[in-house]
Structures are given as C-alpha cells and as structure tokens.
Amino acid sequence: MNTSIYNISVKKTNGEEISLSEYRWKVLLIVNTATKCGLAPQFEELETLWNAYSHDDFMVLGFPCNQFLSQEPETNETMASVCQINFWVTFPLFAKLDVNGENTHPLYRYLKSQQGWFWSRSIKWNFTKFLIDREWNVIRRYAPTVSPLSIQGDIEKLI
C-alpha cells in the first residue's frame, strides 16, 4: 500500500502518465465521474468550485469510471470533449479507471483505505467525492448524491 496519495501515478486522457505529486500542497477534490450518469449535472457544480477556488491552490480531479451500468461508454478522448461541450468542464480529467474490484486503480485503493465507510469500503456509484488537504490527508468522503456546492464550506476551511 502506498503511504501517500502522491506516490501514485495516473494517466491523462491522452495516455500520458502523470504523478499525483504534481498536485502536492494543493487541496484536492477527487471524483469518479460518468457522462451518461443521472448525476452528471454535478459536473457543472464541480466546475463552479474549480473556478471559485483554483486560484487558492484547489484542484478538482475527475476520474471517469465505466463500472456502474456502463455510464461512461466514451473513449477517453471523446469523454473529455463531451465534458467540455456539454458541461463546460475545464478542470483536469483523467483516463478511465476502475474504482472497485480486482482491477481497482491504486488511487482508489488508497482513498478507500483512508475513508472507507464502516459498512463498506466499495464505491457505490458515480460521483463519490474525496476531499484531501494540503498535508495529503483524506479528510472526508462524500456520497454520490451530495451536491458539490454543499461541500463548499469544507473546502474553504482547507484553503
């Protein structure tokens, strides 16, 4: 198990690998996303948070996942375009990954090990959110139905 989120690498939508250490000392909101999900309007609220706080070293990082009723059928490149065109997303989106099961990406293994809910460590649906402080602590996990704008106060405490 990685001892820090910043020891983990992820892939951009173009396949280029990037270390999460590039986001060191920033407050992060990590979200598993899907363009065809009924919760996809949350993209707009995530973008609102990104626009409001990115100047304060706050980052929204979107990680598409196709594990929930195949609600992210797009290719990585197409998904990024769909998010830009339909939801005006400008925050970083990454290549699709698994959040549960045998092929769970190391990022989500780490996040769930830090903020698994007492009854289950699995991710239940798209748009589960994890808030991480500047010292790499996973502060809180938010259910998929929690509005991104409703966690604005938690973000403000960290920036």
Q: Give, in degrees to the nearest 5, the angle at Cα 96 between 27 and 65.
A: 85
The catalytic position among 31, 37, 60, 107 is 37
> Are the CB atoms for 41 and 56 separated by under 8 Å?
no
> Is residue 61 within 8 Å of 91, Cβ to Cβ?
yes
Query: Where is 112: in which H helix or E strand?
Result: helix 106-115
Residue 37 annotated as catalytic: yes
Which run of H or E residues covers position 18?
strand 17-19
- Sequence-distant (≥ 6) Cβ neighbours of residue 137 within 8 angstroms: 114
CA distance 63 to 46: 13
User: Looking at the annotation, which residues are catalytic?
Assistant: 37
